[in-house]
Structure 1
Amino acid sequence: MSDRILLVEDDPKLAKFIESELTLERYHVTVAPNGLDGLTIARDAQPHLLILDWMLPGISGLDICLRLRSTGVQVPIIMLTAKDEVPDRVTGLNAGADDYVTKPFSMEELLARVKARLHRTQANDPDNLQFEDLVLNGLTHEVCRGNQLIELTAKEFNLLEFMLQNPRQVITNDRILAKFWGCDFISESKIIEVYIRALRIKLEASNSKRLLHTVRGFGYVLREQR
């Protein structure tokens, strides 16, 4: 579930640098070199986040903000600009920008702003279930941890969705068996261990931090690692 980012920047060297850094973070990046192209792509491609330079040939980043917001587009927008006076920041925010990064800036700061905006958007999406850096989309049936897409079987997906719907609650073996396998499997608790083990392998492939924990003799819980 790679997040799509549209970068609208007319400085080719800066655009290439930002694109490379975002790509290393596993974002899918599209670059537009001017305001008109940026506005068109923003409307057609529906990216998850926009990074806009304020000063652009043709249509400014400020105008792009105004036009998108006037048509109901609520994609998060981060504005890049050398304008660092308070009135300029107020103007950008009033135009609909969600965040503001002044040039020169550190790439670490921009990446942190991007991550924060995307996570905030995901958390507010009614189709998403999120716990720490684990996100499950019930509409698209996609699961990711951080920016890593995780392929699950249908049963694994359903079990993980159930755990995400009940975070920090210990779910008994009997409850899981009754929900997913029926009464005939009540005595077959080993089948849950198989699926939990498979989920752990996939969820921890790129991150060793454990989220699915065993409560001995009782069941399982989705919680932070202690």
Structure 2
Amino acid sequence: MNQNHIKINKCIQLDQIECIVSEFGELANIDGINKFHDISPGRYRSKNSLSFRYELGSFPYHSDTAYWQDPAKYLVLYCKNPGSGNRTTKFISLEDILNSQIKESILFENYFLIRKNFSSFYSRAITKLNNSFIMRYDIECMTPMNRNAEDFALFMSEIEKSIKPYEHKWEPGDLLIIDNKKTIHARSFSHLEDTDRILRRGLII
């Protein structure tokens, strides 16, 4: 895992977050008003969210805002309470995917339909921009449109069999600034109903 794509800050206070993340870009107004909202297992804001679909379960690997034409540059996560279930957040870097044994045709010749209400569009999961590769992936909003895309989705569903993720064990006051175009992330499983787990989430565009 290339941890250059994750900046980890410890023992941060809530009122320090905006100042720290401002050097990375502009925070998006997630719902048109607020720059941050709190996320917890089993609680959801939208029926299109992973929290609604997976409730208290684990989350599959994904990048945030994959349904945007230009996904968010960075994901901001702040730990208000790690929760009684001690869930981790797992990360895999794009470099690890590119260096895996998967065929190049599956990596670069996959085509997905990105579903977004009335403005759906097509995209590959991995594209090249300014001599650098970037990635978008979220199987909940991306429908495979060719065999390579189907194979890529299968690879993503079993990715931990070939790539060991970095797992972040949360502590109160942890602030992570994550390169959303160079990493994918997932939420681990808990045997407890840990609705007391509270992460504050923001997006940098």
Question: Same fold by TM (over 0.5)?
Answer: no
Which one has a larger percent helix, Structure 1 or Structure 2? 1
TM-score bracket, normalised by the shorter chain, equals under 0.3
Larger Rg: 1
TM (norm. structure 2) is: 0.25
Which one has a larger percent strand, Structure 1 or Structure 2? 2
TM (norm. structure 1) is: 0.24
